Amino acid sequence: MFRVLITDNLAPAGLKILQETPGIEVDNRSKLTPAEVREALKTADGIIIRSGTELTPELLEGQQRLKVIVRAGVGVDNINLPTATREGIVVMNTPTGNTTSTAEHTVTMMMALSRNVAAADASMKAGKWDRNKFKGTQLAGKTLAVVGLGRIGLAVAKRAIGLEMNIVGYDPFMSAERAAEHGIELIRDVDEIVTRCDYITVHTPLDDGTRGLINAERIAKMRKGVRIINCARGGIVDETALADALKSGHVAGAALDVFVEEPPSADHPLLKAPNLVLTPHLGASTEEAQEAVSVEAAEIIVGFLIRSEVRHAVNLIPISGAEMADMKPYLDIGYRLGLLLSQLKKSAHVKSARLLYRGDAATKKTKLITAAFTSGLMASADDSGVNIVNAEMLARERGIEITESSSSERGDFSTLVSATVVTDAGEFSAASTIFGNQFLRLVKLGDFHLDAYLDGHLLMYHHIDAPGLIGFMGTVFGKHNVNIAHLALGRKVAGGQAVAVLNLDGAPTPESLAEVSTHDKVTAVETVQLPAAGAPLPWLISG
Ligand code: NAD
Ligand code: MLT
């Protein structure tokens, strides 16, 4: 049974999906203190939040059961992503459900600002009839700058074009051609776009690159009488700079739905600034948007917990349920190669690792296979809970560089994953393929080609190829009651250097290992333990 904790108000449609899904148990509690959230997370496999819950490092650290965080909404700035990733927790959001509502709210704010709707309403309710004081400005023919041309930015531009406005846009990840298809003139420089508009609206995420994007310096460059709208995240427009510019009259008006601190404190400078329209983070607050994000959040958490689907993840590559079924043998190969090489390198310090995907393997989501390999390689590091989400971050933090390359050429096998680990004691390498659809085979160890099973107890002995050695091994392990399930030999020339891999049915005893090492043709003996054939991947929730 997977337990899903919900700490913010989630619309009933999503709750119903969760409650009616076999295998899911819902723990729906709002208004928890941070300490209560931390406690509740200890027994949760997943959590759904909106903007009311802040998942700080203190709440996420050491949460061993928690596997997934779903943000019912777009912004994940209330989730500490580095900590979630380090803890191996997948973070997902629902990017599309509230796009239209937020775009409509942005346009509403722009219109309310232009026609002084809120101030005129307050004035009338105070018993006045002041038609001159509230003369507005027409939108048609004016230029609107849209900063951030993602889902909401483009939806705002589309609506503003309907109002006969001219649209200029800025987004470092958008091409001029694609912007033009949306009727937008792309401006390449944020310092230029601020000089080219009568209205400016921001629709970027809040991150280190966008915090204070619209600051005092850029506001000073804007046309006198410009109007500023922020329905994205508090802090993209510098609040103090905006308050000053409203007071000086350089900015004719502003409309804000979001604030650095929500709710803003009573003495916040903006609350005393003139010509300001404010709403309390209402962009996505429509019945339709709340229902859409609630349903989407429920569906993606169920998909993840029950079917290992990864949709809209912000710290893992997305993968559908069908793709996951196809990818499982490859993830398994990656994981087992990582485990194998981490045991062969013994105490040597790993500097880097490189993977090469050939043939069919090269057509898969290789970044995920690399992550699976890294989770195997890092499994013996002192971290508990290394998984496909955090392995590469943990490797990076230890200065281990993991690289991959692909070749569609098939070579000797229709599919091949090769891995090399570079350590201060030299390089260790191995390669694996899949026979049929699921039989994983170790087909290369160092320079030697062979064909061994990639599961269970492996004993490897390096030796000089000579008659009688295989019989000797059989006798030793027979005497110690260890059954040999399979033997694979790799050599280049008869009588030369060779390696053999024995797949054993049980762990070899220290006595048997000591005895096989006594043979004068044996130069080194190593053991490796891998999961049994077909064992579920430890970090894959549904096996
Ligand atoms: P999105 O990911 O579709 O779009 C964001 C865009 O910003 C992307 O195109 C990206 O390329 C662009 N971008 C990133 N850095 C940039 C930079 N430095 N300069 C210019 N552009 C940059 O996201 P979205 O769904 O359109 O959401 C936009 C914002 O609206 C987010 O901050 C989200 O949290 C917020 N939001 C607010 C509400 C609300 O209730 N007020 C509702 C939904 C979303
Ligand atoms: C979002 O990021 O989706 C918005 O802030 C809406 C919300 O969740 O309140």
Which two structure tokens, joined as six digits, stand for 98?
């509230």
Residue 155 lies in a domain: yes
| In a shared domain, residues 395 and 503 | no
| In a shared domain, residues 333 and 347 | yes
Residue 539 lies in a domain: no
59, with CB counted inside 10 A (0-12, 13-18, 19+), is buried
Strands 484-491 and 497-504: antiparallel
Q: Diameter of the chain by CA atoms?
A: 109
Q: Cα separation of 276 and 286, whole Å?
A: 23
| In a shared domain, residues 69 and 132 | no
3-state helix, strand, coil in the chain (%, to 5): 35, 25, 40
Domain limits for position 297: 2-97+288-307
Q: How confident is the model at residue 382 (pLDDT cuts 50, 70, 90)?
A: low
Q: pLDDT digit string (tens) for 344-367?
A: 998 889 999 999 999 999 999 999
Q: How confident is the model at residue 412 (pLDDT cuts 50, 70, 90)?
A: confident
SS3 337: helix
Report how far ligand 2's centroid is from the alpha carbon of 290 (Å): 10
Does 50 contact ligand 2 (Cβ within 6 A)? Answer: yes
| In a shared domain, residues 348 and 459 | no
Report how far ligand 1's centroid is from the alpha carbon of 253 (Å): 22
Active site residue 262: yes
444 forms bridges with which residues in the sheet?
431, 449
Active site residue 233: yes
User: Going edge to edge, which strands form the sheet with 522-529?
Assistant: 484-491, 497-504, 457-464, 522-529
pLDDT for 383: 54
DSSP letters along 192-205, please?
Answer: HHTTS-SEEEE---
- Tell me which of 74, 81, 262 to substitute to probe ligand 1's pocket, judged by most ligand atoms within 8 Å of the beta carbon: 74
- Tell me which of 49, 74, 204, 288 to substitute to probe ligand 2's pocket, judged by most ligand atoms within 8 Å of the beta carbon: 74
Does 79 contact ligand 2 (Cβ within 6 A)? Answer: no
| In a shared domain, residues 324 and 457 | no
- pLDDT of residue 438 exceeding 90, the answer is no
Judge contact between 202 and 213, C-beta under 8 A: yes
Indicate which ligand has the atom closest to the C-alpha of 257: 1
Judge contact between 301 and 67, C-beta under 8 A: no
HSE toward the beta carbon, residue 126, CA cutoff 13 A: 8
Q: Cα separation of 5 and 172, whole Å?
A: 37
Judge contact between 219 and 251, C-beta under 8 A: yes
Residue of the nearest CA to atom 3 in ligand 2?
73
Q: pLDDT digit string (tens) for 308-321?
A: 899 999 999 888 88
- pLDDT of residue 173 exceeding 90, the answer is no
| In a shared domain, residues 401 and 487 | no
Q: pLDDT digit string (tens) for 239-295?
A: 999 999 999 999 999 999 999 999 999 999 999 999 999 999 999 999 999 999 999
SS3 256: strand
Domain end point (choices 446, 467, 491): 446
Residue 366 lies in a domain: yes
Q: Of these residues, 20, 54, 262, 288, which one is catalytic?
A: 262
- pLDDT of residue 436 exceeding 60, the answer is yes
Report how far ligand 1's centroid is from the alpha carbon of 103 (Å): 11
Does 280 contact ligand 1 (Cβ within 6 A)? Answer: no
Judge contact between 289 and 98, C-beta under 8 A: yes
